Structure 1
Amino acid sequence: MARQFAALDTALDDAIELPAGPNGEVYRIEGPSAEDGLRIERIMTLATRLAAGGETPEAEVLDDDAELDLYKAALGSSYDQLLAELSWPRFKHVAMTVVFWITADLDTAERYWASGGDPSRMAPNRATRRAGTRSSGTAAASKTPRRGSTSGTSTRTAKPRAAKA
């Protein structure tokens, strides 16, 4: 028998709400159509590949019109209202936050939002990075060979432990 899943409405939010107005106004942006979502994914995948490879593209990945088309696809029916009511920096930040929400997830969008658009602030902080790469004392000790016996006479063997019941 096939496994029964909960209705998608209970597991997925089809909109994002961002407090972007100069007076704290919250804008609700609905998720894009599947076609627009796929197009946004393709554009961001290309841009990510270029950035990861450190390549300088032969031509602009997005000219001004293509950039606005990307934002229009991401913002959908909210595009005109946001364009009319927000300054360019706020508009672009909202649009890119929505793009991250569409192409990654809500957590990535929240990190971008909190970064103010500064990519270096999206990376985990130094303490988090260091904690993620730090090994435990036990693991570190197992990698370090023990100092050999200085007496040179014999080695002791450990007695087997009795199993606990």
Structure 2
Amino acid sequence: IQSKRKFGSCQLHVEFATPSTVKGSSQGRGNSGVFLMANYEIQVLDSYGNKTYSDGQCAALYGRAVPLVNSCREPGEWQSYDIIFHRPIFKGGKVVKKATFTVFQNGVLVHDHVELVGGTGWKGKHAISDYEPHEDKLPIMLQDHGNPVGFRNIWIRELAD
């Protein structure tokens, strides 16, 4: 799912629920993601009692930053992200200001002004990358990773750079 409007720096609220019946393990349990500017992913996953790699667990800045704490609720319970995102700024094809994230999951601080060193992504086939110049505003996206995940009560407000 992709927003019609494009956004840069913003405050985003998203509520999500992974399936109440646990099927699968590791990345196969309610796997999805929230992408800001179509490039920077906050992982959605059932990480309640689920062993998986640390930078791929729920609330990870996928492949880049591990959350400070696992604040996941039990499978099937609604959870929330409150995200403060400041976009990267490019000049002459080079990044002059890196993107930052502050993220609360279920009211608990899980990322405190984390500076990204590039895009997010899987380290295997589709390797994470350094910054690649892009537009000042791009869509918000919700990932379909083949697992059933519910989303509701999504709102956003733009922030100054």
TM norm structure 2 = 0.21
Q: Which has the higher helix share?
A: 1
Q: Which has the higher strand share?
A: 2
TM norm structure 1 = 0.20
Which of the pair has more CA radius of gyration? 1
Compare relative contact order (CA 8 Å, sep 6+) and give the higher one, 1 or 2: 2
